[in-house]
Amino acid sequence: MRKEIDKIPCLYCGEKTDNRKFIINPKAREELPCCSTECMQEVRKFIDWDSHNRMKLYIMLFAFVILNLIFIGFNFDSRWRNLPLLFMATAVYFYPLIFTRYIRYQGLGIKKTVKVTKVISLLIAAFSIILIVNY
């Protein structure tokens, strides 16, 4: 009797696949499959882009959090006290690298997760602009 292979979401597009020809991390405990060569190439591009840009995001977020703490610490009571929130949302929009492990992207796929992250960051940016304007 043949063992049934479970369908696992493609790491890039999120479509369920039972294809084991395109695995990003072969021989790993948690396999990250792709459904096609195109998806595998896109994942490799994303991993390369991630490895070059993740530190930029962390440094920007660190700087904006420090700026936010300064605004809170000195009790700035002006419309610009919400500016760090706008900067953080903008940084996440341009560098939507929210997960540290690639398996976390597997639920929706990298493509959809990046889109959702950008939409949420735009909503947070719009909220911060509303706070700045309506102060």
Question: Is the pLDDT at 1 greater than 50, yes or no?
Answer: no
Q: What is the pLDDT averaged over residues 68-97? A: 90
Taking every pair of Cα atoms in the chain, the longest distance, rounded to a whole number of angstroms, is 72
121 within some domain: yes
The tens digit of pLDDT for each residue in 49-66 reads 999 999 999 999 999 999
Contacts 24+ apart (CB under 8 A), 86-90: 86/125, 86/128, 86/129, 86/132, 87/60, 88/61, 88/64, 88/124, 89/121, 89/122, 89/124, 89/125, 89/128, 90/121, 90/125
Task: Return d(Cα 126, Cα 85) in angstroms, integer.
Answer: 10
Range of the domain at 32: 8-133
Mean pLDDT of the chain: 89
Q: Which two tokens stand for residue 55?
A: 């530190």
State how many domains the chain has.
1
Q: Which two tokens stand for residue 73?
A: 């610490």
- Local structure of 16: helix, strand or coil: strand
1 within some domain: no
82 within some domain: yes
The tens digit of pLDDT for each residue in 24-46 reads 888 888 888 999 999 999 999 99
2 within some domain: no
Query: 8 - beta bridge partners?
Result: 17
Q: What is the pLDDT averaged over residues 73-102? A: 89
Q: What is the pLDDT averaged over residues 67-76? A: 88
126 within some domain: yes
3 within some domain: no
